[in-house]
Amino acid sequence: MSEPHLNTANARRTEPRVVIIGAGISGILLGVKLRERGWLNFTILEKAGTLGGTWRDNRYPGVACDVPAHLYVYSFAPNPAWRSRYAKGPDIWKYYHGVARRHGVLPHIQYGKEVVGAEFDGAGWRVETSDGSIHEADIVIAASGRLHHPVMPDIPGVDSFAGPKFHTSRWDASVKLAGKRLGLIGTGSTATQAVAALADQVAQLKLFQRTPQWVFPVQDTPVPWWKRVAYRLSPAYARKYYQTLQAQTEARGRAATGDRDARAARDQQCVDALATVRDPALRAKLTPNYEVGCKRLVMSGTFYQAVQKPSVDVVTDGIDHIEPKGVVTKDGRLHELDVLVFATGFDAHAYLRPMRLVGEGGVTLDEVWRDLPLTYRSIAIPNMPNFFLINGPYSPGGSASVVGIVEVQVDYVLKLMEHIVRDKVLLVPREGASLAWLEDARERARNSVWGTGGCQSWYLDKTGTPSIDPSTLSELKAQLAQPRLEDFVERPLPVDVETKAA
């Protein structure tokens, strides 16, 4: 991978002042792409002490990515170092840190800068961080992620538990689990990875399951040496492999949105995987009563083996309350525990919150989003000029690695930025165009298995509609190939961007 360099044409261009919120996968990508264009006047404000977003926060035992590793990369930065089909969390963090370092993004990141608000002043934005500092910007891009507000369950007595207790995304590595009685609440993708990693370490693992999950069987196979060599030496091979994985993922993802053949094949694999659970009573406990793929599908080749180990007990009686010694289920039984872990997911609907955003005319984000998070194609918000989102509400999912999705969105936002800088304008999406897009996305989402499959999940918004655009990556690429400027109100900038550039 070569160092990016400025070409002279770019270096002469006007540079907008850009503030990016968040140094996760999207924020790093924006940094790389801005530097490629020679737009160096940007700052990435990161609330934590290091970059990496979800791969910084999630350090629980077994943390890994269930999307094939060679697909969970930027398309321009293949990683020949992957040694197995699926990558472990810390290795993914290293990959994204390495890209940020090689592409010169690190000096642009300011750590410990939690954005608490941003106000549009008629020409640009004043972005405020929790330490009271103000960052002026012509363009703001929120790359703050969707799954980073941990949900702690509202169970009576939860605070009274006497032993260590924490959410999976706040893992306390100082707590030694060997020989301990561990309680784990939740059975989503996180819990299933953690159970598989911990079943052999602890004396006993009580898995408190409110709803069983469908599990799609995957095998974490090593990448043979010759493939690693080919991947390192041949960019064409690396590109082809990436495209093949993308096509496979998209084909499987179409099962969520209506392709009956894809769905039948996928469903049968889940049914077959469940059948490997030998004890009929345990198998019955683990059998969902909703359609495959309604919740985000768990991808695992180890979960069913783990729950059959003698150390693991799947508890399906509802939790009544928690007390100092452990968890009491509705049948009155006290499950005594030494450590309690909450694998209870994230508030996916707190996007941008609790930031206070004030747009043109003093209109706040809370006002624009009073009913629903209204966006234009997930990347812009009515009343918020020159303010963009990456992986925003209703962003597509299910048929691609999120990295592929955000690459398309970033390219689109950069095209809008080119227009803003070239013509010195403010761009704000029309409310009508945003509503039309949102209604269309919601209608298609309602008819997907996420809407019709008969389950509860973090995909659903407060109206019960999946907050995910079911477009596939190929469809998204076609939709976002060129900006539809007619969907935006365009006004001349009161202050020349060029004169404000540092």
Nearer to ligand N01, 348 or 428 (CB): 348
First to last CA, the chain: 30
3-state class of 142 per DSSP?
Answer: strand
C-beta closer to ligand N01: residue 299 or 420? 299
52 binds ligand N01 (CB under 6 A): no
Q: How many CA atoms lie within 13 A of 229 on its CB side?
A: 3
Residue 94 Cβ vs ligand N01, minimum distance, rounded to whole Å:
17
C-alpha–C-alpha distance, residues 334 and 322, integer Å: 9
| 16 class by beta-carbon count within 10 Å (0-12 exposed, 13-18 middle, 19+ buried) | buried
For ligand N01, the closer CB: 191 or 413: 191
Q: Name residues contacting ligand N01, limited to 155-184 (CB under 6 A).
A: 155
Q: Is residue 492 classed exposed, middle or buried when 0-12, 13-18 and 19+ CB atoms within 10 A define those classes?
A: exposed
How many chain residues interact with ligand N01 (CB under 6 A)?
A: 24
73, 100, 141, 191: which one binds ligand N01 (CB under 6 A): 191
Residue 199 or 427: which CB sits closer to ligand N01? Answer: 199
Going residue by residue from 205 to 244, which x/- string records binding to ligand N01, judged by CB under 6 A?
Answer: ---x-xx---------------------------------
The pair of structure tokens assigned to 308 is 């059959």
Between vectors from CA 392 to CA 386 and to CA 393, what angle results, nearest 5°? 125
Question: According to CB under 6 A, which residues from 308 to 327 bind ligand N01?
Answer: 319
Work out how close the CB of 279 gets to ligand N01 at its nearest, in angstroms, rounded to a whole number.
21
Q: Which of 147, 205, 337, 413 binds ligand N01 (CB under 6 A)?
A: 147
CB half-sphere exposure, 483, CA atoms < 13 A: 24
Residue 343 in the binding site for ligand N01 (CB under 6 A): yes
* Residues 209 and 284 sit within 8 Å (Cβ to Cβ): no
Token digits of residue 163? 């032993």
| Tokens describing residue 449 | 């298995």
Tokens of 357: 């955003």
- For 12, residues 6+ apart whose C-beta sits below 8 A from its C-beta are none
Q: Which residue has the tokens 């990558």?
A: 87
Q: Is 186 in the site for ligand N01 (CB under 6 A)?
A: yes
Considering only 90, 153, 163, 301, the residue that binds ligand N01 (CB under 6 A) is 153
Q: Which stretch binds ligand N01 (CB under 6 A): 61-69, 113-121, 128-136, 301-309?
A: 61-69
Residue 136 near residue 386, CB atoms below 8 Å: no
| Sheet hosting strand 334-336, strand order edge to edge | 319-323, 326-329, 334-336
Closest CA to 419 of 361, 350, 488: 488
Residues 67-126 that bind ligand N01 (CB under 6 A): 67
- 152/363 with CB nearer ligand N01: 152
User: Is 287 near ligand N01 (CB under 6 A)?
Assistant: no
Among the listed ranges 38-46, 186-194, 246-254, 309-317, the one in contact with ligand N01 (CB under 6 A) is 186-194
Task: Measure the CA–CA gap between 220 and 62, rounded to whole angstroms.
Answer: 13
Our finding on whether 426 is near ligand N01 (CB under 6 A) is: no
State which residue, 65 or 328, has the beta carbon closest to ligand N01: 65
Cis previous bond, 354, omega within 30: yes
- Window of 204-212, 256-264, 380-388, 429-437 that interacts with ligand N01 by CB under 6 A: 204-212
Q: Determine the interface stretch with ligand N01 among 340-348, 373-381, 435-443, 466-474 (rule: CB under 6 A).
A: 340-348
Residues of span 13-42 touching ligand N01 by CB under 6 A: none
Instruction: Catalog residues that contact ligand N01 under the rule CB under 6 A.
Output: 65-67, 147, 153, 155, 185-191, 208, 210-211, 296, 319, 343-346, 456, 458
